[in-house]
Amino acid sequence: MDIKQLSYFVAIVEADFNMSQASKYLHLSQPALSQTISNLERNENVQLFERSHGRLQNLTAAGEILFAHAKDIISKYELMMEDLQEESSQLKGNLKIGIPPVVISVVFPEILPKLLSENPKIGFEIKEAGAVELKKGLLLQELPIAVLLKPTELDSESVEEVQLSRDTLSAFMSKDHPLALKDKLEWADLHNEKMALFDSTYMIHHQLQKKFASLQIKPQLSLQSASWDLLLNATRNSSLITILPTPVAKYYSMTDVIRKEFVHPLYWEVVLCRRKQKRYSRVENYVFNYMRDYYALDSQLQARVGSAKS
């Protein structure tokens, strides 16, 4: 016996045993309704209706018992389905995402609060670390989603990458530093200069070391840190130079620290990554697509603004 058969049975009783009227109410042909009731009685080996000349007249004792329970069962079934549909429409669960601190500060200041406020039943755990460490977490399946920097050197067959943001790296230094007088810097200007850089857990560290090696430049590495704000503050009233993503200047300007662009800049490309698999949890899929679409729309808006200005 299934819920459909129970519903048909109740509809017939409430239609005062009028099969034609019950059929219209159920949007079902009368022969199909009759067949369903006959199958129910045969399968359960019980007679539910009293019949006279082929027409239903009343309920049998068994029919009375079934009818007494059927309406309550149907009501509970409908309530259960409503609860299930409501539950399925609400995203619930926990998700761990790896994001470098500097990305949180200059790329994600708006999207994270928005994502949290719109999804109060999702528990987010943000792991803040350098892109090198987050990459390991992604490959070891400790992180479902990670925000990394290009080049990730990940296998495109096994990892999905979506670019979120692209900007340059700039030099930050005290306004009294001798190089502050230059309009733009050459990489060779950094030879023998005292530097404060991200440590080796950050992709920027490896980008810069590769660049220095290719140009045979040897800066003096005086300070390494995982804290971008420490690096920035270390340049105040000192001879240290740090290299950070250009957007840092927009969000954290200091009157005694200035930014200098490079003639031939290195690019800072932020990408959203996850392992490719046949099936993702609803929460993971929703958050990944939300972040992807948010920055795709942001890029389109920026392009339109730039086009209008030109």
What backbone torsions phi and psi does residue 60 show, to the nearest 5 degrees? -80, 180
Give the angle subtended at the CA of 113 by the CAs of 112 and 114, to the nearest 5°: 90
Which residue type is seen at 112?
Answer: L
* Over residues 277-299, mean pLDDT: 85
Counting residues of the chain whose pLDDT is more than 90, the rounded percentage is: 58
Instruction: Report pLDDT for 83.
Output: 67
Instruction: Report pLDDT for 250.
Output: 84
Which residue type is seen at 91?
Answer: L
Rg (CA), the chain: 34
Q: Of the ranges 52-66, 77-91, 152-166, 287-301, which one carries the lowest mean pLDDT score?
A: 77-91
Angle of helix 61-89 relative to helix 3-14, nearest 10 degrees, comes to 120
Dump strand ranges (E) for 199-301: 220-225, 241-245, 257-262, 267-275
Q: Is the pLDDT of residue 301 over 50?
A: no
* Over residues 24-33, mean pLDDT: 88
Cα–Cα distance between 234 and 170 in angstroms, integer?
16
Q: CA 273, 278, 280, 286 torsion: positive or negative? A: positive
- Of the ranges 16-25, 60-69, 173-182, the best mean pLDDT one: 173-182
Residue-wise over 131-146: b if at least 16 C-beta within 10 A, else e? Answer: bbbbbebbbeeebbbb
Cα–Cα distance between 78 and 295 in angstroms, integer?
41
Instruction: Report pLDDT for 305.
Output: 35
Cα–Cα distance between 114 and 149 in angstroms, integer?
23
DSSP 254: B
Domains, in order of start, for the chain: 3-88 (1.10.10.10), 96-270 (3.40.190.290)
Cα–Cα distance between 297 and 277 in angstroms, integer?
26
Instruction: Report pLDDT for 256.
Output: 92
Instruction: Report pLDDT for 109.
Output: 85
Q: Is the pLDDT of residue 308 over 60?
A: no
Cα–Cα distance between 129 and 99 in angstroms, integer?
7
DSSP 258: E
What is the distance of C-alpha 12 from the center of its chain?
Answer: 49
Dump strand ranges (E) for the chain: 49-52, 55-59, 93-99, 122-128, 145-149, 159-174, 184-185, 194-198, 220-225, 241-245, 257-262, 267-275
Peptide bond into 151 cis (omega under 30): yes
Q: Which residues pair with 95 in a beta bridge?
A: 124
- C-beta of residue 95 within 8 angstroms of C-beta of residue 145: yes
Strands 184-185 and 194-198, bridge-based pairing = unpaired
* Over residues 194-205, mean pLDDT: 94
Instruction: Report pLDDT for 147.
Output: 95
Which residue type is seen at 231?
Answer: L
Instruction: Report pLDDT for 87.
Output: 55
Instruction: Report pLDDT for 162.
Output: 94
Instruction: Report pLDDT for 310.
Output: 46
**pLDDT tens for each residue of 131-163:** 999 999 999 999 999 999 998 999 999 999 999
DSSP 189: G
- Report the greatest alpha carbon distance in the chain: 110
Tell me the residue length of the chain.
310
Q: Is the pLDDT of residue 303 over 50?
A: no
**pLDDT tens for each residue of 77-129:** 888 877 666 555 667 889 999 999 999 988 888 888 898 888 888 999 999 99
In the three-class reduction of DSSP (H, G, I as helix; E, B as strand; rest coil), residue 124 is classed as strand
* Over residues 187-202, mean pLDDT: 95
Instruction: Report pLDDT for 299.
Output: 52
Query: Average per-residue pLDDT in the chain?
Result: 89
- Sorting pLDDT into bands at 50, 70 and 90, what band is 304? very low
- The pTM for the full model equals 0.67
Q: Is the pLDDT of residue 309 over 70?
A: no
